[in-house]
Chains A and B, each alone.
Chain A
Amino acid sequence: MPQRVDSFEAVVLPHLKAGYNLARWLLRNDHDAEDVMQEAIVRAFRFYDGFSGNNPRGWLLTVVRNSAYSFLQQNRARELGTEFDEDLHGEIAETPEVLVLRSAQQRLLNQAVEALPVEFREVFVLREMEGLSYKEIADVAGVPIGTVMSRLSRARRNLIAAVARREQVGSAS
């Protein structure tokens, strides 16, 4: 059925970049992100007949998200359902050299987002990188809007505190 492949590639694959970015942020390394992405795309293709045609990006993100979570469940279950551990943020590697302020900040922020528990990281990345609305995030993550709001809010408070703490450490040393 080559026309089915063509249609899938035309409708869904334009959102591959968004899907990969989400997988990479959820899994935190390229190797696993590529494996999960491949599985997600094949899975999406199998379900493609049942896809309504609305919002292919949100649909692909949902499939990618679910694939990433089942991968974590099987391989790194302890990363799921974790609460904030303030110590986690203490382990961020020191920047080896004096860097331009901007790149230091950039590194700091990326590290702080990586250190968020996956449920919080997911909501934050979908909001700030993909620009999804609360409702769209709720649909992708399969949680109520209230949960999206509280996770987003806690993720942000945590990031602001983590970045402020790191900047303090940086200026003190």
Chain B
Amino acid sequence: MNCSEAKRLIDAYVDNELDVRGVLELEEHVSHCPGCSVEERGLRELQTSSRANLIRYAPSPGLEARLHAALRAEAKDAPIPIKTAEPAPRRRAWKWAALAPLAAAAALLIVAVPRLLPAPSETSVADAVVAAHVRSLLANHLTDVASSDQHTVKPWFQGKLDYSVSVKDWAAEGYPLVGGRLDYVEDTPAAALVYRRAQHVVNLFVWPSKNAADEPVQRLARRGYSAYSWTTDRMHYWAVSDVNDAELQKFVELVRRRE
């Protein structure tokens, strides 16, 4: 690990957000780099001092009393069909921001509805896949085998997985293969094929499906990342990236066209 990598990860290290491999590599670097070691000490001092010294503001007793009153008033005001002659106009000033969570929830619902019934665990898989994607960027552990040659990457997986993964380079289409990595999605070993699109990384996760049915392409957004999933020939595919949606969609079409 060099200094610029160390600087990128040192906050995550101090915050205990780095995986074991990252921790080991970083500690190794810091132990013989005076500059990064000063940086680490500075961060830890700031952290200790912040936790001890930042003012923790407490709500006044008056505020708490007002909140309780406001809640009772709001509850009475709620639009329950009681037998009042006409519904009193609700005295609330709706603001855009108030509607945002609703809109987000509605949008999610629209995307998720077709899958909600057959696959209730879909969202947790999405979280796991996105977490694996983030981890690969965070810990600078993008590839176990770095090669743009599909004939190098494919055989590399053969000793490690009990299924075969097809690997193809799409450099000509603008999505060069960078390599492959063994990853885990919800305790299942998965092949992660790594591609680049300009400055962005695309992780394509592949692992076997338990049921025979194919699933159409689904899109999910998680924490600023887009994820596309589908199932073909008893294999699950998840493509995750922070690249813009149209480009990720194009990538998905490339992968699917070849199958």
Contacts and interface: CB of A to CB of B under 8 A. Distances in A.
A, B from the same assembly: yes
Interface of A: 1-2, 4-5, 8-9, 13, 16-17, 20-21, 24-25, 30, 33-34, 37-38, 41-43, 45-47, 50, 63, 66-67, 69-70, 73, 105-106, 109-110, 113, 124-125, 127-129, 133-135, 138-139, 143-147, 149, 152-153, 156, 159-160, 163
B56 A21 contact: yes
Nearest to A134: B17
A30 B53 CA distance: 19
Given A8-B71, A143-B224, A34 B60 contact: yes
B64 A16 contact: yes
B13 to A, nearest CB: 11
A46 B138 CA distance: 38
Chain B's interface size range is: 35 or more
A111 B100 CA distance: 33
A152 B13 CA distance: 13
B127 to A, nearest CB: 9
Interface of B: 11-12, 15, 17, 42-43, 46-47, 49-51, 53-60, 63-64, 66-68, 70-72, 74-75, 78, 80, 95-98, 100-102, 105, 131, 134, 137-138, 223-225, 242
Contact of B70 (A38, A66, A149): A38
Contacts of A109: 49-50, 53-54
Given A16-B67, A109-B54, A144 B242 contact: yes
Contacts, number: 128
Contacts of A113: 50, 54
Nearest to B134: A145
B66 A38 contact: yes
A110 B15 contact: no
Top 8 nearest A-B pairs (CB, nearest first) are A144-B224, A70-B97, A24-B57, A20-B59, A106-B53, A128-B50, A153-B11, A5-B75
Contact of B223 (A8, A67, A138, A153): A138
